[in-house]
């Protein structure tokens, strides 16, 4: 017993090295690193950062600089970046109606040009709830029937957002109130699926067909062929 005590007294016990995560934990407490959910964003709300000088000028609403670039023949008005986005896309995404108005007043502007997601400037403005930009685009002849590569037209995006003001503007310019998504959903059925009840009532009042009812957040069934469809990837 005495030998054991003397051995323990003479033995050098090196401090154990702490794991990296035990050192990280105290530093992160109270700073949101752990225990808090990160905000989830729809894909169309992020990743729309301009690349070129013309696109940057449009995204910050600098009309004078946009005009200088285009009139000085430094850039073409329909010039696209690697994502297929024009200065008009960026002006609509970042809500600069003054830039939008200047761009669409130019006869060379392709108002319905699509980016690499199939979004026209009108669809992009709808995704961002930018009402004034939408009004300018529609007055200048933007086509509300074009769908993106996910199969959704501007009206479908307005329904998902629950934006009745934009939906009303699109219908005023002859958007198809019964247009189907690639999953077979009309705007009315899409409103039910998204639990946008006020939007559903608005669409019924404006002539939407409601011959069948879709239960929200259930498997989607196409009433015409009875086949189950995949859940929309929104």
**pLDDT tens digits along 198-231:** 999 999 999 988 765 555 444 444 444 443 443 3
The confidence score (pLDDT) of residue 209 equals: 85
Find the helix packing angle between 164-172 and 154-161, rounded to 10°: 160
Contact between 229 and 221 (Cβ < 8 Å): yes
**Where do we find the tokens 């009108």?**
122
Please indicate, yes or no, whether the overall pTM of this predicted structure exceeds 0.95: no
- Which tens digit of pLDDT belongs to each residue from 170-190? 999 999 999 999 999 999 999
* Residues β-bridged to residue 153: 147
Radius of gyration of the chain (CA): 27
Q: How many residues does the chain have?
A: 234
Closest to 120 measured CA to CA, from 159, 160, 80:
80
Q: What domains does the chain contain, in order, with CATH numbers?
A: 44-209 (1.25.40.20)
Tokens of 31: 């700073």
Query: Which segments of the chain does DSSP mark as H helices, in order?
Result: 2-10, 20-28, 53-59, 63-71, 87-93, 97-104, 121-127, 131-139, 154-161, 164-172, 187-193, 197-205
The confidence score (pLDDT) of residue 210 equals: 77
Q: Residue 199: how many CB atoms within 10 A of its CB?
A: 23
Q: Residue 186: how many CB atoms within 10 A of its CB?
A: 23
The confidence score (pLDDT) of residue 224 equals: 44
Regions of the chain with pLDDT less than 50: 4-14, 20-22, 24-27, 29-32, 34-41, 43, 216-234
Q: How far is it, in rounded angstroms, from Cα 17 to Cα 19?
A: 6
131 phi/psi in degrees, rounded to 5: -65, -45
């Amino acid at each position: 017993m005495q030998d054991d005590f003397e051995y323990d007294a003479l033995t050098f016990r090196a401090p154990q090295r702490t794991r990296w995560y035990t050192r990280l934990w105290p530093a992160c407490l109270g700073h949101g690193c752990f225990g808090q959910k990160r905000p989830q964003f729809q894909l169309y709300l992020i990743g729309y950062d301009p690349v070129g000088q013309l696109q940057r000028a449009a995204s910050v609403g600098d009309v004078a600089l946009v005009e200088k670039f285009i009139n000085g023949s430094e850039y073409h008005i329909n010039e696209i970046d690697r994502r297929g986005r024009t200065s008009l896309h960026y002006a609509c995404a970042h809500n600069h109606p003054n830039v939008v108005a200047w761009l669409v007043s130019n006869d060379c502007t392709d108002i319905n040009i699509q980016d690499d997601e199939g979004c026209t400037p009108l669809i992009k403005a709808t995704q961002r709830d930018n009402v004034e930009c939408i009004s300018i685009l529609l007055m200048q002849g933007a086509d509300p029937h074009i769908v993106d590569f996910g199969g959704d037209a501007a009206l479908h995006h307005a329904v998902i957002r629950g934006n009745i003001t934009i939906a009303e503007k699109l219908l005023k310019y002859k958007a198809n109130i019964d247009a189907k998504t690639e999953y077979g959903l009309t705007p009315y059925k899409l409103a039910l699926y998204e639990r946008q009840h006020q939007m559903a009532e608005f669409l019924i009042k404006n002539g939407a067909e409601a011959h069948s009812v879709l239960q929200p957040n259930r498997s989607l069934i196409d009433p015409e062929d009875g086949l189950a469809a995949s859940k929309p990837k929104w």
